[in-house]
Homo-oligomer: A and B are copies of this chain.
Amino acid sequence: MTTPHGEVETPVFMPVGTLATVKGIPQHLLEELGVQILLNNTYHLYLRPGTKLIRELGGVHKFMAWERAILTDSGGFQVFSLNELRKVSEEGVQFRSHLDGSSHFFTAESAMEAQIALGADIIMAFDECTEYPADRARAQASMEMTARWARRSKDHFEAHKHEVPWHDERNSARQALFGIVQGGVYPDLRAESARRTVEIGFPGYAIGGLSVGEPRHLTREVIECTLPHLPADKPRYVMGVGYPEEIVEYAAMGVDMMDCVLPTRAARHGLLFTSEGRLNIKNVRFAADQGPPDPRCKCWVCRRYTRAYLRHLFTTGEGLAAVLNTAHNLAYYLDTMRSVRHAIKLGELSGLLTEVRSQYAARAAEKQPE
């Protein structure tokens, strides 16, 4: 995948950098980990420091000193997470800031405006993230509104895309707007949503409305039934997933892009993803464990530090705990996707999938306290 800020090898896992920072990790260490694209959250940057300021400063790449690719979400998912604080209409979403309760209004047009101001390489259509559970009538109405908002998103984007902070007429590199498929857990609604979104026409498509509380088997089923309705020659992006065994599985199904707070958020809670499954570093059994966090991992954390030291940092509340745990978890996720890409080339993806599944199944069987 080619973006205005470099090539991205797919399938790719995109770390989440909500407020223009992957929590705790300096940008040069993200580069060393091999991060080619990361995600910023429009809702959060809209509130602080403000999309207008970031536009004035030359866009979010320059703001956060990151020269590689960036994707922003539309703000829709975050706004819908506000629950009590929002009110949806055909025009858009009225919501209150989680920070100070101030009132704001997002529309397809203003969401495009915010994302154009930020200037990410890939931006997302404004959608309604349908909650789970939602009955068929609700999921259908929500999906149809998302389709109308997708149209409005594209129209506004086409009229204003030259306003991207780094826009340069001599340079053919352009910001890309992706469409989002909704439809709850209903295969026919997903198919219709995909058809209507493809009809509008985008350079890439996302499957949204997942990881909103549905059982994990439903997540897979929705992805499985939706993918065939999206063009295989355009990037297909599943938003908000997943566990290591899931990202391998979804990649095997044909998903090109995924993002998730899991590796970074879990790290801050002391949960490490390793070739031996999940590992809760605060467990007392690691107090004198001189082994590396993951014996098969070659990241700079595993090459230098012991489980005993990481446990000490976490249990004493030291800031370095989050830094090291996050760096390792990202290395694990990125290595896993690197293995996926390698296995695809060799036609051995099913073997890798079996291996990753067994790593996590074995650990689950141990009933490790978490």
**Chain A interfacial positions (CB closer than 8 Å to B):** 19-21, 23-28, 48-49, 53, 56-58, 63-65, 287-288, 290, 300, 304-306, 308-309, 312-313, 315-316, 318-320, 322-324, 327
Contact = CB atoms under 8 A, between A and B. Distances in A.
Copies of this chain present in the complex amount to 2
Interface centre among A20, A64, A305, A319 (most CB of B within 10 A): A319
A26 B324 contact: yes
A304 B308 CA distance: 33
A264 B28 CA distance: 21
A290 B323 CA distance: 26
17 contacts: A19-B318, A20-B309, A21-B313, A21-B318, A24-B319, A24-B320, A26-B320, A26-B323, A26-B327, A27-B304, A28-B304, A49-B287, A53-B287, A53-B288, A56-B288, A57-B306, A63-B308
Given A19-B316, A23-B320, 11 more contacts: A19-B312, A19-B318, A21-B313, A21-B318, A24-B323, A26-B300, A48-B316, A57-B308, A63-B309, A65-B306, A323-B323
Contacts of A305: 65
A108 B63 CA distance: 53
A304 B65 CA distance: 6
